[in-house]
Amino acid sequence: TNRPYPNVRHPYYVANVLVTMANGFTTSNRFIFISGDTVLLLLYTRTAKDETRLVERFGDDYRNYMQTTGRFIPKFF
């Protein structure tokens, strides 16, 4: 719950998606942009599985963390 984790639960995944989408925009290549969308979809699926395992391991502590922290976008309210 320290460093980037008080803001988002999966900052590494967010960084990967942003880099892939930025590459699609800067190259103006539809294939790269579509692959960025595919990466986003796959990472979204992966995080659901990851979070299921984290809830199994840490229980209510992780559930409370999920309520106060956004998965990909920070929760401010």
Q: What is the pLDDT of residues 1-39, one digit of tens each?
A: 667 778 888 888 888 888 887 888 888 778 887 877 787
- The residues, any chain, with a CB within 8 Å of residue 47's CB and separated by 6 or more, are 9, 10, 13, 71, 72
Q: What is the pLDDT of residues 33-76, one digit of tens each?
A: 787 778 788 888 989 899 999 999 999 999 999 998 888 888 87
Half-sphere exposure of 51 (CA within 13 A, CB side): 20
Q: What is the pTM of this model?
A: 0.70
> What is 50-71 written as a DSSP string?
HHHHHHHHHTHHHHHHHHHSBS
Amino acid (one-letter) located at 59: G
Distance CA 71, CA 5 (A): 10
